[in-house]
Amino acid sequence: MLQHPQVKGPGVGLLGFSLGADICLSMASFLKNISATVSINGSGSSGNSTIHYKQISIPPLGLDLKRIKVTFSGILDIVDIRNDIVEKFENPSIIPIEKAQGPILFIAGQDDHNWRSDLNVQTASERLQAHGKEKPRIILYPGTGHYIEPPYFSVCPASVHKLFNKVVIWGGELRAHSKAQVDAWKQILSFFSQHLGGTHKGVSPKL
């Protein structure tokens, strides 16, 4: 990416959602030249499989399928299946984001039913501060579910989950979620403009 003609450098920015957010947080923690990272509804921990980087392994946090709930319509609600995070600051399943060189923007929906993203970002913030880092920027959106996508994308309240091969609920109230997608896009562009050497106060979303 650093060799791409449209990449200004000297570093790059990362934007990830859900598992992609955790991949971005891992990259920011272990790789150089990551100037800014945006995590959208990430967990901040190793999910269902071990994260490997050279000789480093981050074991999965684990889950308990007995905690799956079934809604009145038969759709699964998996929000509580992941194991609780104990020893927040030294838990081996937590991605060591305190090693990241660039700033991190955390975006979370407070009605996320994939996992409790609002609690995850709070844990991440506490971990960073416990390691002497500044409190990161956190944006929480009430009434907003898991799939915070670019503006004007259709809201996805439920769909088939690859892990379970069944339909699960993602959360989000239509109006609140739609408004969050519009605002989050602006916040992301502003964050990257600030930390990737942008000069414009207002950045065109080109949508």
Catalytic positions, written as ranges: 18, 112, 146
Residues 6+ positions from 177 with CB-CB distance below 8 Å: 109, 111, 141, 143, 144, 145, 148, 155
Q: Which residues of 103-134 are buried (b: 16+ CB within 10 A; e: fewer)?
A: bbbbbbbbbbbbbbbbbbbbbbbebbeeeebe
Phi, psi for residue 159 in degrees, rounded to 5: -165, 175
Contact status, residue 76 vs residue 168, Cβ threshold 8 Å: yes
What kind and span of H or E run contains 127?
helix 117-130
What is the rounded CA–CA span in Å between residue 97 and residue 192?
18
Q: Which amino acid is at 174?
A: L
